Amino acid sequence: MSIPAAPSTETPSVFTARQLLEQPTLFATLDPAVTLCVFGDPVAHSISPAMHNAALKACGLPGQYVRLHATAEEFPAALRALAKAGFTGANVTIPHKPAALAICDEVEERARLCGAVNTVLVDGEKLCGFNTDGPGFVRALREEFYVDLRDLRVLLLGAGGGAGRAIAVQCALERCERLCLVNRSPEKAKALATELAPRFSSDRLLGPTERCVWAEWTEDCLAQEIAQSDLIINASSIGMRRTDPAALPAHLLTANLLVYDTVYAGGRTPLLENAEAAGARAANGLSMLLHQGALAFETWFNRSAPLEAMRAALQAH
């Protein structure tokens, strides 16, 4: 499959909130016109433009997607300025996702539960907020392992972070078989388990407090929990740096497990290497990145996303 070319060599790699506020008409005058962006601080590393520009091109849609740097102080006004500058929508990444939730005029329930918006649709003067990380993860899981989240007993590492919370909320919305939350700072895992447990009440054998639990990040506790799990997810930052240790030691892993690492940079993390060495099925976070992006595209354009063009653009990075 051919890799779509970059949209325009004239376009700077990062725009600023100041440009959006002081020159809102600039974006429509570029060729192609800028209609979508990702806000972040920092944002220069984001590979979302490659994926979304490939999608626009594959669908023959006008416009282009750029990186837009905004500080925490600049972000509220910059998000509000999208409508005037002719944007269709935006993605939001670290650290602005909670702020985007507060700014949007309408927010879907899932994003509210996550406490974070990663996708904004400009609807006239109105900003509508969504969070596609959880449903993107569900699609990634189906693609990688041919399984449904709702059928699984899940052990989630890094439950206290933004990605961890989004996945935990999705587990609760889907009422997966069992969810065990683990976090470096255990009080966050405990608080989230308490918050989500009522959503697990059903006529199944286990009660809500047995189906949604938390555990300490110690080898003994993890060994006990892994014995009751089908799927282990790493949503912590461990594995992002090349020098990071494995999120779990090899001797805790067994061949019956599915192991998903949300880290997508650098291919195989030490956790995935350990999982494969144990005979487990393992996948990295590129598929989650792809599917959360595809869902954002569907939100903006109300049509299915060109997955293969988007995947090829991500893999080329």
Provide the annotated active-site residues. 97
Which one among 40, 89, 135, 160 touches ligand NAP, defined by CB under 6 A?
Answer: 160
Residue 127 near residue 105, CB atoms below 8 Å:
yes
With CB under 6 A as the contact rule, which of the stretches 39-47, 123-131, 148-156, 162-170 interacts with ligand NAP? 162-170
Contact status: 249 vs ligand NAP (CB under 6 A): no
C-alpha 36/C-alpha 283 separation (Å) is: 29
Q: CB–CB of 101/143 below 8 Å?
A: no
Residue nearest to ligand NAP (CB): 161
Q: Which span sits near ligand NAP by CB under 6 A: 3-11, 52-60, 169-177, 259-267?
A: 259-267
Query: Can you tell me which of 173, 285, 300, 309 binds ligand NAP, judged by CB under 6 A?
Result: 285
Residue 268 lies near ligand NAP (rule: CB under 6 A): no
Among the listed residues 40, 63, 134, 158, the single contact to ligand NAP using CB under 6 A = 158
Minimum Å distance from CB 117 to ligand NAP?
13
Between CA 97 and CA 137 the distance in angstroms is: 17
The single residue among 28, 102, 240, 277 that binds ligand NAP, judged by CB under 6 A, is 240
Nearest distance in Å: CB 73, ligand NAP? 20
Closest CA to 234 of 210, 199, 258: 258
Alpha-carbon distance of 188 to 185, in angstroms, equals 6
Residues 166-185 that bind ligand NAP (CB under 6 A): 183-185
> Using CA atoms in the order 242, 115, 175, 173, what is the torsion angle rounded to 10 degrees?
-120
- Pick 63 or 164: Cβ nearer ligand NAP: 164
User: If you count them, how many residues does the chain have?
Assistant: 317
Q: Tell me if residue 162 falls in helix, strand or coil.
A: helix
How far apart, in whole angstroms, are the C-alpha atoms of residue 98 and residue 114? 9
Q: Which of 218, 213, 217 is nearest to 196 (CA)?
A: 213
Given the rule CB under 6 A, which residues bind ligand NAP?
94, 133, 158, 160-164, 183-185, 188, 235-238, 240, 262-264, 285, 288-289, 292
